[in-house]
Chains A and B, each alone.
Chain A
Amino acid sequence: MSTGKLQAVAGPAAQPDLVARCQRGEKEALGELYRLYRSEVARNLHRMLGPGRGDLEDVLQEVFIEVFRSIARFRGDAKITTWLYRVCVNVALQRLRKRKRRAEVSGDTVTERVTDETPERELDNRRRLDAVYRILDELSPKKRVVFILHEIEGREPKEIAGIVGAPVLTVRTRLHYARKEFYARAASDVRLDGVRA
C-alpha cells in the first residue's frame, strides 16, 4: 500500500544524469521520466481531484506537458520528486478552479481499482469516499489542496508550504479554516448517514 507521498524510486531514478538528459531535450530520457513517475503522479492526482471524474488521464497529460516544458528550469534545489509534486499540485489547482467555473457532467461514477474487501464493505467505503469528495468540492481549491495534503497524505505544514509556495503561517491558517469548514459540513451532511462504521 502506498503512503501517498511521491517516493524516491529505486533503479532508473537513481541515474543521476536522467534530469540532465531531460534538460538537454533527449526524448528517450523524457519517456524514461514519464514511465518512472506516471503511477505516482496519477495516484496523487487521483487523491487531489477525487475518484470517478474521468479526467484523470487528461490531467496526467497536462502535468507531464508542464514537466517537459519546464524541466530545463529545474535547478536541482529540491528533489525531483518534490518538484514534480509541486507541478502536480499546480495543475490540479488549475483543474479545480476550472471545475468550479463550469457545470461538469461526469461519466462513470467509480473507476478505482477493486480491493479485496467484501462487497458490502466496499460499497460503504465508496459511499463514504463519494460523500467526502462532494464536501471537498465545496471548499475553495486552495483550502482543499492544503486539507488533502495534510489530512489524507499526512504531510506537515512546513512541507506543504514548500509544495504550494506559501508561508508556513498561511498554510496553518488555511488548514485551520479548511478543517473547520470540512467537519462542519460533514456534521450536517445526510449522505454520511446510514454508512456502517
Chain B
Amino acid sequence: MSRHVAAHRFAATLTAREQRHVDGCADCATAQTRVQAARLGLDFAARSEPAELSAAAEARAEASIRWTRITPAVPVRRPFVVGLGLAAACAAAFVVWQARAPKRAAYAAATPSPASHRATLNAARPDRLEALVTLVGGDVSLVRGDAPARRLGLDTRLGAADRITTAGSARAAAQWSEGSGFLLYGDAELTLARLEPRTQRLELGRGQISVRVGPHEPGESLHVITPDHVVSVHGTWFTVASAAHTTTVEVLEGTVEVTERDGSASTLLTAPARATFGPGRSVSAPLSGHQAAKLRAESEMNFLPWTAGLDAARSTSGALLVASQPPAELAVDGIVLGSTPLELRRPFGRHYVELTRADFRTQHQWIAVGKEPGELRASLVHAAPVADEPSAPVEIESMIHRRSSQIRACYERRLKRDPSLAGTVSLKLRVGDAGQVTRVDVEQSTLPDPLVAECLRREAAGWSFEQGRNATVVYPFVFRSQ
C-alpha cells in the first residue's frame, strides 16, 4: 500500500488522481482510514486533560520548595570592569601580604583551614539517622553489634547496623522522618544497613516489609535489598517480600525500580502494581482498587508527626498497650493496625480504640495516653445468637428480578463515566422479623467505583420480603458491560 502512495500523503489533501487510485485500491483505502483515525486521535490528544493532581503532588511540591537551595545569580559585569576590579584586588592583596609577612605564621595557626571548616559544617548536620519504634506486636528481637539479642521496645532508638527479627505472627514499625518508615511483618529479618539523611538501605534477609517514603530531598535515595534484587524508591509506598530467590513487590503509591543484584536487568513499577521477580523472569499485573485498599489497610505504620525531629516526636508521644482475649483486630482513631496484643506509640491525648473479631461484640473505648502509658486489657464477649430461626427461605431471586431496572441503573450510571467498569458486589442483607431489610453491608466489591456498591446498598435498604424472616442473605451482583 505504501508502494502506491506514500502513507504520509494521506495526512494532506489528496489530488484527484491520487484519490481515484485510492478508491480503486483496497490496501490504500485501509491505510487512508487508519491515517484518518490517527488524525482524530491527535485531535483528541489536543483536547484530553490529565487527571486532577492528588494531594500527594501538593505535599511533594512543598517538600521540593523546602529543600531547594537557591543561589542568587551573580550580576553580570562588563569585562573591563571585572578586569579592573581584579587588578585592584591583586594589588591590594600584595600590599597586605608584604605588610603582614612576619605575622603569617601566627595567622596560619589561628585560622581554620578549609578542610577543618568543612568538617565544622558537616558536624552541624547529622550524618546518621535514628528511627523511633512506633509499633510492636508479638515477639520482636533486636541484635546490635556483638551484644546478645534483646526484645525490641517502644523506647528503642534504631540505628545503622541494627538487625530486627520478628517471630511468626509478630510485627514492628519504625519511623525516621516525616512520613518515612517501615513495617516489618511476621517471620522476617531486616538489617538497617545504612540509615543516613540522604541514603537509607534496608537489607531484607527473609519475610516481608512495607516501606513508606514521605517527601524526600532531591538526590535522597532509599533501597530495599533482598538476596536477589534491589528495590529503589522513586515514589512513596510499597511492600517487598522475599522468599526462595523470588522477590514480590507491590507498589501502592509512586514508582519503584527493581534491579537484579548483579545489575543485569531493571524494571520500573508504577502504582498500583504487583510484580514477582524470579531467576531470569518476572510477572507483573496492575493491582485492582480493592486489592490496593486492602494492602493499604494491612500496611499501616502508625506514623507520628515528625516536623520537629525524633526527640520532639518522642517527647510528645507515649505508649499505648492493648491486649485482648481472644486476640482481635485493633483500630486506633479509625486506623486498623493489626491483631492484638500490640504496643504502639501515639501522641499525648485521648485516642479512640476499637477491638473487633467475628462472632464477638465489638469493644470501643477512649484511652488517654500521657507520660504514663495508656493501657487496655479486654475480654471480648460472644455476640448474642440469632433469636429466631428463619421461617422460610428469603425470596431474594424474585426481589432481584422485580428491582432489576433499579439495580441496573446503579451500574449504568457509573458505566457512562468508565466504560471498562466491571466486577462483582456482594451485599449482606439482614432480614428482620417482619420481612423488612434491617441492615445492609457491602460484603465485598471488586468494582473500582465504590458509588455502585453504595447505590445498591441504598436500594436494598428499602426492600421488604413477603417470605423469609430473621435471616442473613449474602447475594453477589455481577456487572459486566456488553
Contact = CB atoms under 8 A, between A and B. Distances in A.
Q: A and B: partners? A: yes
Given A31-B65, A54-B255, A73-B73, A106 B49 contact: no
B365 interface: no
B2 A102 contact: no
A43 B270 contact: no
Q: For chain B, give the interface size range.
A: 35 or more
A116 to B, nearest CB: 10
Contacts of A102: 266-268
Interface in B17-70: 30-38, 40-42, 44-54, 56-57, 60-62, 64-66, 68-70
Interface stretch (B4-12, B190-198, B425-433): B4-12
B47 to A, nearest CB: 6
A124 to B, nearest CB: 9
A104 B268 contact: yes
A83 interface: no
B72 A129 contact: no
A93 B170 CA distance: 46
Given A58-B255, A112-B48, A152 B42 contact: yes
Interface centre among A107, A112, A193 (most CB of B within 10 A): A107
Given A23-B72, A125-B44, A187 B65 contact: no
Contact of A57 (B42, B57, B251, B272): B57
Contacts of A15: none
A138 interface: no
A96 to B, nearest CB: 13
A19 B435 CA distance: 69
Nearest to A183: B8
A27 B38 contact: no
Nearest to A24: B72
B270 A55 contact: yes
Contact of A61 (B6, B60, B415): B60
A51 B71 CA distance: 36
A197 B40 contact: yes
A128 B41 contact: yes
- Mostly, the A contact residues are helix
Contacts of B272: 107-108
B218 interface: yes
Given A73-B73, A125-B44, A183-B35, A61 B61 contact: yes
Contacts of A135: 38
Contacts of A125: 40-41, 44, 48
Nearest to B37: A192
Nearest to B417: A114
B218 to A, nearest CB: 5
A6 interface: no
A27 B65 contact: yes
B51 A113 contact: yes
B346 interface: no
Given A58-B235, A58-B254, A131-B41, A105 B2 contact: no
Interface in B126-155: none
Contacts of B171: none
Given A30-B65, A113-B52, A186-B34, A60 B271 contact: no
Interface in B238-292: 251, 254-255, 265-273, 275, 284, 286-287
A139 interface: no
Interface string A97-132: 000001111111011111000111011011011011
B449 to A, nearest CB: 11
B120 to A, nearest CB: 23
A151 B45 CA distance: 10
A57 B60 contact: yes
Contacts of B60: 57, 61
B50 A122 contact: no
A8 interface: no
B267 A105 contact: yes
Nearest to B265: A103
B95 to A, nearest CB: 35
B329 to A, nearest CB: 29
B237 to A, nearest CB: 13
A111 B418 CA distance: 10
Interface stretch (A63-71, A84-92, A157-165): A63-71
5 contacts: A107-B270, A119-B415, A187-B1, A187-B34, A188-B1
Interface of B: 1-2, 6-8, 10-11, 30-38, 40-42, 44-54, 56-57, 60-62, 64-66, 68-73, 218, 234-235, 251, 254-255, 265-273, 275, 284, 286-287, 415-420
Interface of A: 1-2, 4, 22-25, 27, 30-31, 34, 38-39, 42-43, 45-47, 51, 53-58, 60-61, 64-65, 68-69, 71-73, 102-108, 110-114, 118-120, 122-123, 125-126, 128-129, 131-133, 135, 151-154, 179-180, 182-184, 186-189, 192-193, 195, 197
**What 4 A-B pairs have minimum CB-CB distances, sorted nearest first?**
A128-B41, A187-B7, A132-B41, A46-B50
